[in-house]
Amino acid sequence: MSLTAVQESHAFDPALESAPTWGNSELVALRKSAADLFRQKGFPTLKDEEWRYTSVAPITSKSYVLAASPGKTEHAIAEKRVCANLVVIDGHFVPELSDLGRLPKGAAVFPLREACEKNWGQVGAHLGRLVDWSFYPFAALNTAHLNDGIVLWVEEGVVVEEPIQVTFVATAGRVAHPRLLVVVEKGGGLQLISECYAEKDAFLNLVEEGWYGESSAVRYTRLQDADDEGSLVATFTGKVLGEASVETETVTLGGGLVRNDSGLILAGENIHATLDGLYLGTRKQHIDHHTFLDHTMPNCNSFENYKGILDGSAVGVFNGKIFVRHGAQKTDSKQSNRNLLLSRDATVNSKPQLEIFADDVKCTHGATIGQIEPSQMFYLQSRGIPKEHARQILTFAFANEIIEKIPHEPLRKRLEEEIFARFTPGREET
């Protein structure tokens, strides 16, 4: 980090000083350590390799209110609810907007603050132990403000049949630093949906940690959206033990500045993991995805498929890393990033990477950037479909490869409708 970044971080010092002080000595020490690190390193700049295509000026140039209570949101939470839902607004759990439904015995959901106060022994062994906030500056900022969020715990052998949705919102002019901690013990099963939204001039800074035990089965769908003047940063790390299956999709529908750092650590043998994503950008939006799949043990397979659609003068960034550590033989890993540009002014920076330190592996990666194929347009137009409708159909088909993988039908249909509407003929781009 440069001196400039350290100086810029002073704008957040008042917020750091007002970080909560409740909790035991370990929790307070955790916050202080993260705050000290953030002050030392500050916000990233374009000189930092991991941020060379993404300026954080849309965040650092604004003043935010660190709210002591949840504000009134314009986000249609009730309309977008597709299953049992927990709501966190401006970093505070809101029970009156939440509807958990019925959980099987052995599965529990708690507001983070309550979980820390009542059961620090279990929570403290996982909270802040997985996301490397010395590497992710926004995770350090989040940890410095660690106050509330959601803890979801599935005990050994318990399978939660119905999906659980968690909604995070930052309201206009506010900054929020919520936390999501998920622990699925050996043989457990879970379908989880998280949805994030940053309103105008808001900054939502979310950290997610997932601990997935041996032989567990987890399906995690992440939805993200933000106002053109809103910013959203999400840092997610999952640790997967042997024989487990973890499948993820991240769908980013837009935002002034959206940055995702997402990854899975494969820490056992015979793991199956997927890390898929879809990002849509228009107008002057900036959407950045950095991912990693870390193979530390042999006999695992992972598959990553990220697709981007950029229109207007939007900018997309994809940086995907696959690590195959010493001894991780018989690894099978495939990574793909494909991008569709709908205008001359839209741009994408794509950088797939492989770092392999084992010799008996099958690993591939690739990236494409292009426009709609003229032959496909001609085929549809020759059958009487107007040009703009043909463009809409082909664009949706490109996106739907990711959407159709989502197992929860109400959510899948909702996203199909929202995405198809994004490419309706006659929409205005600026």
Q: Measured between alpha carbons, how far is 107 from 160 in angstroms, rounded to an integer?
A: 7
In this predicted structure, the answer to whether residue 117 has a pLDDT above a threshold of 60 is: yes
Q: What is the DSSP code (8-state) at residue 62?
A: S
How many other CB atoms sit within 10 Å of the CB of residue 242?
Answer: 17
Q: What is the DSSP code (8-state) at residue 99?
A: B
Q: In this predicted structure, what is the pLDDT of residue 380? A: 66
Q: In this predicted structure, what is the pLDDT of residue 367? A: 87
- The pTM assigned to this predicted structure is 0.91
For 390, the 3-state DSSP assignment is helix
For 350, the 3-state DSSP assignment is strand
In this predicted structure, the answer to whether residue 2 has a pLDDT above a threshold of 90 is: no
Over residues 207-222, the mean pLDDT reads 97
Over residues 202-227, the mean pLDDT reads 96
> Length of the chain, please?
430
pLDDT band at residue 13 under the 50/70/90 scheme: low
Q: In percent, how much of the chain has pLDDT > 70?
A: 91
Q: How far is CA 79 from the centre of its chain?
A: 22
For 196, the 3-state DSSP assignment is strand
In this predicted structure, the answer to whether residue 428 has a pLDDT above a threshold of 60 is: no
What burial letters (b/e) apply to 80-115, b meaning 16+ CB within 10 Å?
bbbebbbbbbbbbbbeebbeeeebeeebbbbbbbeb
In this predicted structure, the answer to whether residue 30 has a pLDDT above a threshold of 90 is: yes
Closest CA to 308 of 292, 291, 325: 291
Closest CA to 215 of 161, 135, 158: 158
Quick check: 75 and 59 in contact, CB under 8 A?
Answer: no
76 Cβ contact partners less than 8 Å away, ≥ 6 residues apart: none
The one-letter amino acid at 339: N
Q: In this predicted structure, what is the pLDDT of residue 4? A: 37
Q: In this predicted structure, what is the pLDDT of residue 417? A: 87
Phi, psi (rounded to 5 degrees) for 239: -110, 125
Over residues 300-313, the mean pLDDT reads 94
What DSSP letter does each residue of 216-283 carry, written as one string?
-EEEEEEEEEE-TT-EEEEEEEEEE-TT-EEEEEEEE---SEEEEEEEEEE-SSS-EEEEEEEEEE-T
Q: Measured between alpha carbons, how far is 82 from 407 in angstroms, rounded to an integer?
A: 12
In this predicted structure, the answer to whether residue 314 has a pLDDT above a threshold of 90 is: yes
Closest CA to 230 of 197, 202, 206: 202
Edge to edge, the sheet with strand 92-93 lists: 92-93, 84-89, 164-170, 189-198, 217-226, 245-252, 272-281, 301-310, 331-341, 361-370
Which residues is 250 bridged to in the sheet? 222, 277
Q: In this predicted structure, what is the pLDDT of residue 81? A: 73
Closest CA to 371 of 352, 392, 395: 395
Q: In this predicted structure, what is the pLDDT of residue 427? A: 54
Q: Measured between alpha carbons, how far is 79 from 101 in angstroms, rounded to an integer?
A: 17
- List pLDDT tens digits, range 253-303: 999 999 999 999 999 999 999 999 999 999 999 999 999 999 999 999 999
Helices 374-381 and 387-403, packing angle to 10 deg: 120
Q: In this predicted structure, what is the pLDDT of residue 15? A: 64
Q: In this predicted structure, what is the pLDDT of residue 389? A: 72
- List pLDDT tens digits, range 380-412: 677 777 777 777 777 888 888 899 999 888 889
- Using DSSP bridges, classify how beta strands 331-341 and 257-266 pair: parallel, antiparallel or unpaired: unpaired
pLDDT band at residue 378 under the 50/70/90 scheme: low
Q: Measured between alpha carbons, how far is 215 from 236 in angstroms, rounded to an integer?
A: 21
How is residue 325 written in tokens? 């550590």
